[in-house]
Chain A
């Protein structure tokens, strides 16, 4: 299926995925061939295989036109190392550094060996994701020096921002180098929220992991819960009922609607048009209340579970959902016209934080932000599984890659998701909503790959004995998109940073794990 000199086997599950175990010596050749075929790097992570008689392993997930390739490269127990691929896929840089901080596997010849996940919680030379490391181990705070790249020249100065920010935002550090108001360089330092999610997974059963997966990034709880469920179902050979898949489609699109409503409000707020904030947050609150009534949770947490969904949507409730959305839709259409006509708002949106298509492709810009820069990728369209198979999702697309383009794509996706929810709700197939999840043997694997509202969410799962987790890697599209913000803000003015940042609205928690 993939034109590479390696043997692959299919990974059982809903999405087309293939797995290959190959020599670490072939990594660069494979990465170069994949890049030449326009494949994108979805994720890079490591694992400790010493409990399974090995050393360590490096894993990379590459998205081809025909599906996902999960490549596993065994590494030695002593001095585990592999060749750096960040020159081929720039987004690999931070993932390689994270893999070192957590597992001590080393990317050779990388120009950037600075720490990433590790701040002061544990000392260098200690690797929390190694199997011998006990999760409860704690250390006296260690030294936390970090070498930001310095910009020098007449009139250049730095503005350090965060980790505690001025608004209600997640923590992270931004180091601006500026001249006057103009941004010459931005460097991000993240992982303040690292709370050991991947290590926690390894203390859990497959069933327990669902609740944790739903809390990797709260604003994408449905996407993560579905990805996790998909991985468990693949590994255990469970077939979720078709009605459950229809309901999952409804939940995922509702999550997309709620997030776009909220962000469209904030984007107006950030240009001093507070009318937009209050109007969109009124609509968002109406939707959250409806979700709370129909599903028992305003943000739909823990609704998608391995085997299906937790709660059914009877016919009269489905009709309530449809009519509630129709009301929100007609108001959002009126608000879009007001946004489009608002010269002050458009003046701030247009050409702010531009990401040209070439840069977006090189950096692997994911999700709606990628589509606003002309990247025509959407898992719901590229690999339509039920219920998307029948719905023929229309892609929101723009080419300019600025804040205005991201606003435009968000509006398009908002209305398309409303259409999808209404279609899914009207055409919900009858039947059960939950299939029992069978026992899962050790050594099985599963892939969950879902187009969340922000972009593609990946869960790569390997099982241990007694229905436990050997390794679960959760990957947020924010890994790809955070480095792009560093580029998008160059030559913009500092006061436009909050606007540009909000137009992407990336997850810190999903990146920091």
Chain B
């Protein structure tokens, strides 16, 4: 126990400042009103859905929960069921075998809800594209609010995408 406490004290706090939202990541106009966003901004529940990634994006989602990025301090946490979620974080091209589970997860998430597509595959289908086995980008299957490119995107880019989704749009995308 002494060693554990000593290690905690020695480590201190390593969390770093969070990034600012980035409007260029937004794919469709902000669907939610200011009142809802105010609440989401303080307590956002995310359900992650891997729809067919190579598992690279998952590594960075895990990192986001680590001490340097410490997503939970922003009131944002991952939940175990879509029924508890405000936002879906979707990785991968959508494998055709995951098309139905993804749609069902989306339908099970109560309104109002947001979707953030993660990674080059989530944004465009990436190297896997569209084929007999892949539906391509996430937006081909469910509506996507914000898309974060990268292979995989860094934890900071992921946080930026999430924060953009819950910020009021400054300028409407045309």
| Interface contact A168-B98, CB-CB below 8 Å | no
B41-75 vs A, Cβ < 8 Å mask (1 yes, 0 no) = 00000001111111111111111011110000000
- Interface size class on chain A is 35 or more
User: A168-B62, A221-B56 are known contacts. Are A285 and B98 too (CB-CB below 8 A)?
Assistant: no
Nearest opposing residue in chain B for A203, CB measure: B131
> Which listed residue (B48, B99, B133) contacts A168, Cβ 8 A?
B48
Which A residues lie within 8 Å of B14 (CB)? 282
Instruction: Name the A residues within 8 Å of B81 (CB-CB).
Output: 166
In the complex formed, the residue of A with least CB distance to B155 is A285
Interface size grouping (class) on chain B: 35 or more
State the Cβ distance, B41 to closest chain A Cβ, in Å.
22
Q: Given known contacts A195-B128, A200-B131, A215-B127, is B55 in contact with A168 (CB within 8 Å)?
A: no
Contact of B97 among A119, A200, A221 (CB under 8 A): A119
CB atoms of B95 and A194 under 8 A apart: yes
Chain A residues positioned under 8 Å from B97 (CB to CB): 119-121, 191-194
Residues of A within 8 Å of B78, CB to CB, are: 167-168
- The stretch of B1-9, B20-28, B32-40, B160-168 that contacts the partner chain: B1-9
Whether, in the assembled complex, B134 has its beta carbon less than 8 Å from a beta carbon of chain A, the answer is yes
Assess whether A218 is interfacial by the CB under 8 Å rule: yes
Looking across the interface, which residue of chain A has its beta carbon closest to that of B61?
A168
B93:A195 contact, CB within 8 angstroms: yes
User: Does A237 have its Cβ within 8 Å of any Cβ on chain B?
Assistant: no
Interface-forming stretch among A177-185, A314-322, A335-343?
A335-343
Q: Binding site of A, secondary structure by majority: helix, strand, loop or mixed? A: loop
A294 interfacial by beta-carbon distance below 8 Å: no
CB distance A194 to B63 under 8 Å?
Answer: no
- Contact residues, B80-133 vs A (CB, 8 A): 80-82, 92-93, 95-102, 105, 127-128, 130-133
Point out the residues of chain A lying under 8 angstroms from B7, CB to CB: 275, 279, 334-335, 338
B128 to chain A, nearest CB (A): 5
Least Cβ–Cβ distance between B146 and chain A, in angstroms: 18
Instruction: Determine the chain A residues whose CB is within 8 A of the CB of B132 once the complex forms.
Output: 121-122, 128, 133, 135-139, 196, 199
Cross-chain contact B68 with A218 (CB below 8 angstroms): no
Q: Mark A113-146, 1 if CB is under 8 A from B, else 0.
A: 0000001111000001000010111110100000
Q: How far is the CA of A490 from the CA of B87 in the complex (A)?
A: 36
Complex alpha-carbon distance, A512 and B100, angstroms: 17
Contacts A168-B58, A282-B14 given; indicate if A199 touches B131 (C-beta within 8 A).
Answer: yes
- Point out residues on A near B: beta carbons under 8 Å: 119-122, 128, 133, 135-139, 141, 163-164, 166-171, 191-197, 199-200, 211-212, 215-219, 221, 262, 275, 277-279, 281-282, 284-285, 288, 298-299, 301, 334-335, 337-338, 341-342, 507-509, 512
Mind listing 12 A-B residue pairs with CB under 8 Å? A119-B97, A167-B80, A168-B61, A168-B65, A170-B58, A193-B98, A194-B97, A212-B127, A218-B57, A278-B67, A281-B63, A281-B66
**Extra inter-chain contacts (6) besides given A168-B62, A285-B63, CB under 8 Å:** A196-B131, A219-B59, A277-B66, A282-B14, A285-B67, A509-B53
